[in-house]
A and B are shown apart, each in its own frame.
Chain A
């Protein structure tokens, strides 16, 4: 790390996140003046352009890659058109101890009088909540599922390599050609398409204006710059900003800046979930890197410096803070950009290049919160690359996470994508599979699967509130067999999933009509050709995901009920329900029996693993192939991010001996403490899940550093991963920390500020997590004792 990178890294690391109300003020002004005068897509594009023309721009000392979403690093705008913070929300964000966003009293006041007064009742969140059926609200409040689109726009978008070959002016030409070919006489959609295309054209102009403003700023700064070297750099920055994104990049520097402007555009336009990701960055940059080495305009060190500058830019952009109850609870600055390394090229050859190794180095040296990075490992990926990644994993930042490229491709082929598009795809956000640059794969919310079993045990009544939120499937005490209970579970499941889908479909339409994303639509293939927005079936593929949580908890709970109530008949259903109702108070022996004398998921034991397969099959049947409103279908996803903590809070005691309020199992990992036979047994159990039928699964494993001490250990660790992938595992990630370190970090947070840990599908600073998350990281099984 050279002096420049050290300084920029420190600056980024130390900057305190704050809320900038600039975007909200500009937007409110704009809406007041223009809403109703134009078609919605055009108005959205005009606002985007207005924002690009007016917002405060920033060029920091020593920067090589330029541009910020807010007025300065870590200054985060709000998106009142989607979800509008109240004065109280903003105060909570300012005051909360974990992951605060600072904001002045004056700004809070201005926000309330000038922003909230306009957007209250007009923003998407208010409009959604005003329309949903009562049954949905009851299930939502009971914690059966979450709804992504109440806080942020649909997203999880990742790009392919198109922008490195196509500048905004090229896109404008494509749009103009498309408009000129519209058949207004015979095509009933032509007028709508014309509006969408016009909006996309304006969005291209907006991006060009934004870059040119940076060029001007750089030139102006160069004029007064005393240091000759820096003056030279500023003039170079100006030239780069004059070129991209108006035209395709010609060298490594321009390629990085191209992506960065495009990235900023998408996150200024809307706040789509999981930010935006460059996807296979190493593959996109490799030709520029090689060209630079050949024509001697670039060397390895310079490339690394530019990459580091680029890396720090991501870290300057915390996730936009949420509103409402979650403002107090939610705890991460991470916005989930997840860069893919390695994998396969479009033609099916190995995608690893010198740039892949270079990025691993940058990742290791900077170890910042963002961006996240993963390695895509196919059968063709060289072992030396996997091992290089394992050495970074050993350092304990929680990344890179590791994906099975061949499985990711199979998942996509199963749902009808072309093999080339599937290879160009990969994983974004946490573990979500998508065809990069060609697909809207929208996550809609998490499903609390153990809570659905709770409904089946209570005939549809939520025991926490006493409200009937599910179907009256009958008194569980009367169930004569395990199958009768399972049948009740399946009925509840189907009802809850259908309820969720019904509202998802409504929200999908809302975004398609009210909140188009013309700039994003330019970047995703087929939107221009179809003349349709990203949110309205513009992309080549349109997938909707529901993320199922707690497979470990429900499997273990079913296993416990089956073993003790139905097979051994040692415990009656009545005894069990009584014990669950009072959170095992006075029933500790029963709780321990359930917990210790049941075969649990994660031990390569078919007694539990077959139940997991049965639940997984039910989830698949309930979700997969249901139509969305964009010509695509629903698929299931098996991840929880941090939602297993919220879902645990909303769930009473469960039959696996888990106490009320404790987290449910994360992703597809076994329940805490359930896996007692080491990582190979966990992997074997996971291998029994037919993962190819999902859009991704998530396996968390904690390793202590001493298991990865020597090169021989690293080799075996890599072989462990390879074996999981041979068994068709989708993803695995490792936390390499000792619990002693974690406990010390709890006591002395200031001494451990840079301790990064893998939380769910992402890494976070351990000391930034609340006590719940911290405890959960400590509680995750340590595979340290063999």
Chain B
């Protein structure tokens, strides 16, 4: 049995597909979008987070670190300069939860046991499970196995994808998926590369292919003021989607910066300077423009 690596499982997810759902956040993503809400999901390996405000300076991590990589200061625990080997001993001995391991390994059947826990809620609400990330297709083999197991139990399966994936993998996933939540960030390949690190060529091709195969798809657009809310991008988006058979639902996800503190805990820089949340008027304008292409547009998931 294959194992996968996750960074979270959220229950009572009510904005990730129909009904009451459990959303499984899988680690690893080929893109590096500066507005990412889940920066802990980008790296495909476990990460160490340190939340200074929870630290009580008890020194347990310093005493127990096999590398002697930590030392205690008035501001909290800092590196001695010796590199961390990510053995996570410190997270086990930390009483306050200031040091935490983000990312855990599970087998497919262990994960299905977790997903099954909320089955009574899926039954009442025609909900199910959503695989998100990160990019779930980064762990295609594991994802396929879990989807297969969920299928045996008639659980509704949604996959939230960036679309940047091996086309064969994606088609195999599509056979075991009831609904795609497909992220479409922007249409201009150069701009896409500038913001996310990769061109959108594969993403658009994959989307065409999926739609051609008759997959059930909801398009999700993270809307960031000044980045992808311009008339031109929306025009291109609308025209592209209009040509895809069976694709007519769009969810706009307005950017917010609630995740700022996450970056801090991960010791990652946060590029919030260039990012702005769209205001209500901008949202209304975007919605109207996309609706003019005959699309059904909703704000939020």
Residues of chain A touching chain B, judged by Cβ–Cβ distance below 8 Å, are 588-593, 596-597, 604, 677-681, 683-684, 687, 707, 710, 712-713, 715-716, 719-720, 722-723, 726-727, 783, 786
Contact = CB atoms under 8 A, between A and B. Distances in A.
Nearest to A597: B95
Nearest to A588: B56
B245 interface: no
A783 B12 CA distance: 10
Contacts of B95: 588-593, 596-597
Interface in B3-23: 10-14, 19-20
A596 B121 contact: no
A596 B96 contact: yes
Interface string B1-44: 00000000011111000011000000000000000000000000
B6 to A, nearest CB: 14
B10 A786 contact: yes
Interface SS of chain A: helix
A719 B12 contact: no
A722 B123 CA distance: 10
Interface string B93-119: 001110000000000000000000110
A786 B300 CA distance: 13
A546 B216 CA distance: 55
25 contacts: A588-B56, A588-B58, A588-B95, A589-B56, A589-B58, A589-B95, A591-B95, A592-B96, A592-B97, A596-B96, A678-B11, A680-B11, A680-B20, A680-B117, A683-B121, A707-B14, A712-B14, A716-B19, A719-B19, A719-B20, A719-B124, A720-B125, A723-B124, A783-B12, A786-B13
Given A592-B56, A592-B96, A719 B10 contact: no
Contacts of B58: 588-589
Nearest to B21: A716
Contacts of A712: 14
A678 B10 contact: yes
Contact of B20 (A684, A687, A720): A720
Contacts of A783: 12
A565 to B, nearest CB: 16
A561 to B, nearest CB: 16
B120 A713 contact: no
The 8 closest A-B pairs by CB, nearest first: A592-B95, A719-B125, A593-B95, A589-B58, A678-B12, A723-B124, A592-B96, A680-B11
A589 B54 CA distance: 12
Contacts of A596: 95-97
Nearest to A681: B11
B60 interface: yes
A681 B60 CA distance: 31
B137 to A, nearest CB: 23
A153 B239 CA distance: 75
A680 B118 contact: yes
A680 B116 CA distance: 12
A380 to B, nearest CB: 16
Given A592-B95, A716-B14, A723 B121 contact: yes
Contacts of B125: 715-716, 719-720, 723
A117 to B, nearest CB: 59
A727 B124 CA distance: 11
Contacts of B12: 678-680, 720, 783, 786
Contacts of B60: 589
A719 B13 contact: no
A727 B120 contact: yes
Given A589-B95, A720-B125, A786-B12, 19 more contacts: A589-B56, A589-B58, A590-B95, A592-B97, A604-B117, A677-B11, A678-B11, A680-B121, A687-B120, A715-B125, A716-B19, A716-B125, A719-B19, A719-B125, A722-B124, A723-B120, A723-B121, A723-B123, A786-B10
A683 B121 CA distance: 10
A156 B118 CA distance: 36
A604 B121 CA distance: 13
A687 B120 CA distance: 11
A69 to B, nearest CB: 44
A141 to B, nearest CB: 36
Contacts of B14: 707, 712-713, 716
B90 to A, nearest CB: 14
A643 to B, nearest CB: 30
Nearest to A677: B11
B19 A684 contact: no
Interface string B150-165: 0000000000000000
A683 B124 CA distance: 14
A684 B58 CA distance: 36
Contacts of A679: 12
A678 B9 CA distance: 11
Contact of A684 (B13, B96, B117): B117
Interface in B62-118: 95-97, 117-118
Nearest to B9: A677
B114 to A, nearest CB: 10
B234 to A, nearest CB: 23
Nearest to A687: B120
A572 B10 CA distance: 35
A713 B301 CA distance: 11
Contacts of B300: 710
B228 to A, nearest CB: 24
A678 B56 CA distance: 27
Contacts of A713: 14
A434 B56 CA distance: 50
